[in-house]
Amino acid sequence: MHNKTLAELSAALQQSEVSSEELTRHLLQRIQSLDGKLNALVTVTEEHALAQARQADALRQAGNAGPMTGLPLIHKDIFCTDGVKTSCGSKMLDNFIAPYDATIVAKCKAAGMVMLGKSNMDEFAMGSSNETSFYGPVHNPWDLDAVPGGSSGGSAAAVAARLSPVATGTDTGGSIRQPAALCGVTGLKPTYGRVSRYGMIAFASSLDQAGPMTRSAEDAAMMLNVMAGFDERDSTSVEKAVPDYTQTLNDSLKGLKIGLPKEYFGEGMDQAVIDVINTAIKQYQELGAEVIEISLPNFALAVPAYYVVAPAECSSNLSRFDGVRFGYRCENPKDLQDFYERSRGEGFGAEVKRRIMIGTYALSAGYYDAYYLKAQKLRRLISDDFHKAFEQVDVIMSATAPTVAFKLGEKTDDPVTMYLSDINTIAVNLAGLPGMSIPAGFVNGLPVGLQIIGNYFDEQRLLNVAHQYQQVTQWHQQSPQDFA
């Protein structure tokens, strides 16, 4: 049952092959027996889930069920969930019970979905390996000594290990796509503004975007149908009609123009990974696609620009964690200064502090022009590169990450090397474009992700392109041995 995709489970529920309660109990049982090895979940909401499942079954009996009613999911612990701990992977929010639902949480609830729990993540989504979490690292189900990627590492590992058919994630610089690649699942980061950010704890507001992590493109389309849409509570969400993303999955790829940016196939990329990607591209050619070599000349500027913009925004976004109204507060402060310094000093982990420091510096008087403004200009250049590219091609493809999953602890002492593991994903966030990662093969028994980048609000095409590949390959159906 746990090997079924969301689409298959939806059919099974509709045909009463299984009840939502049975499905929920089964997955809760799996979580209980298997998550000890993974540490993918921070909170398991067992009672809550069973109550929702029974409610879903009742709806179905009454003939009021929709296609998503009774389907289970896990929310990344960055989304506020009413009455449930929302930690954002931080000691700072270890005691925080959110008093409201994030918009996407409310939408999933309204669709009748059942929340099994909240997934582990890098602290405040800052990390590429899930090792910065206050709750300890998540282990990759394909190799328990390897990282799952980050920051949505818990969601990726849970979906890969069949603890849930689907999980939500957020992507600021690759935090959905990179762990999806490293864990061998399908991840979609929608266009900036496609999905509401309300109730999603902000890391870098101009880059953050929520999306689904699933085992197939079809499942991602079903999830995006639920998650997407304008929200009057998020001024940066876009008022644009939401199509039915499942409708165009089966469109032919004949004549599809795929751009291969040469910069994404050069220095720093593992050759074995590139080989897997090239094989996938061949597969697309067999499906009728045309391949065009393109150039995104400002590729190398993405990581430096990102590591100014994202920390600058985070330094301000994380100011509200001051111990005054919620969250961690230090013991016996001797005055206000001490209250702030110790509450924040003790509540935040090292990586978060590092980024707050970088961001504070970049926004300081005398440095603002040289860093923040300059980075914004680079951002424009990077976007312009993509605009030009999409005049020639329909989608752009590359490896999602330069390597397969690395070992736990391997890069923790070298932040710059760690930052470079997002080198292929970051530019997409800076430009605000949609991007996906789908399983495309293995290197040394570890999954490789193929990144597909689309034009603004072209999620339909991304999902179509991914789905067609998944119709002729089985990479997305592989499951890690211990979690079959």
Partner 1 sequence: MEWEPVIGLEIHVQLLTNSKIFSGASIAYGAPPNTQACAVDLGLPGVLPVLNKEVVRMAVKFGLAIGAKVSTRSIFARKNYFYPDLPKGYQISQYELPIVEHGHLDIELEDGTVKRIGVTRAHLEEDAGKSLHEDFHGLTGIDLNRAGTPLLEVVSEPDLRSAKEAVAYMKKMHSLVQYLEICDGNMQEGSFRCDANVSIRPKGQKAFGTRAELKNINSFRFVERAINVEIERQIDILEGGGEVIQETRLYDPDKNETRSMRTKEEANDYRYFPDPDLLPVVIEEGFIEDVKKSLPELPDEKIHRFTQDYGLNAYDASVMVANRDMAEYFDAVAQATGEPKAAANWVMGDLTGALNKSGQEINDSPVTAAMLAGMINRIKDGTLTSKTAKIVFEAMWNGEGEADQIIEAKDLKPISDTGAIEKIIDDIIAANPEQVEQYRSGKEKVFGFFVGQVMKASKGKANPQQVNELLKRKLAG
- Residue numbers of the site for partner 1 (CB under 8 A)? 79-80, 86, 88, 93, 96, 98-100, 102, 197-202, 204-206, 232-236, 312-313, 315-316, 318-322, 324-326, 336, 340, 360, 363-365, 368, 372
- 340 or 442, CB closer to partner 1? 340
- Nearer Cβ to partner 1, position 27 or 80? 80
Q: Are 39 and 136 in contact (CB under 8 A)?
A: yes
Q: Which residues are catalytic?
A: 76, 151, 175
* Beta carbon of residue 206, minimum distance to partner 1 (angstroms, whole number): 4
Answer for the pair 90, 352: CB distance below 8 angstroms, yes or no. yes
Smallest gap from residue 310 Cβ to partner 1 (A): 11
Direct distance between the N- and C-terminal alpha carbons of the chain, in angstroms, rounded to an integer: 11
Rounded to a whole number of angstroms, the minimum distance from the CB of residue 231 to partner 1 is 9
Whether the Cβ atoms of residue 119 and residue 42 lie closer than 8 Å to each other: yes
Question: Toward partner 1, which CB reaches closer, 234 or 290?
Answer: 234
Note whether 328 and 95 are within 8 A (CB).
yes
| Angle (CA) 117 213 320, round 5° | 60
Q: Cα separation of 81 and 195, whole Å? A: 17
Query: Which C-beta is closer to partner 1: that of 200 or that of 440?
Result: 200
Q: Which is nearer to partner 1, 77 or 143 (CB)?
A: 77
Tell which residue, 225, 214, 228, has the closest CA to residue 73.
Answer: 214
- The distance of closest approach from Cβ of residue 99 to partner 1 in the complex, given in angstroms and rounded to an integer, is 7
Q: How far is the CB of 152 from partner 1 (least distance, A)?
A: 16
| Nearest-approach distance from CB 171 to partner 1, in angstroms | 16
Nearer residue to partner 1 within complex by CB, 265 or 326: 326
Q: Is the dihedral of CA 382, 387, 390, 391 positive or negative?
A: negative
CB 316 to partner 1: min, Å:
5
Closest to partner 1 by CB, 265 vs 367, is: 367
Using alpha carbons, select from 435, 343, 356, 355 the residue that is nearest to residue 398. Answer: 435
Residue 274 identity: I
Residue with smaller CB distance to partner 1, 111 or 200: 200
**With contact defined as beta carbons under 8 Å apart, do 192 and 210 qualify?**
no
- The least CB distance from residue 238 to partner 1, in Å, is 10
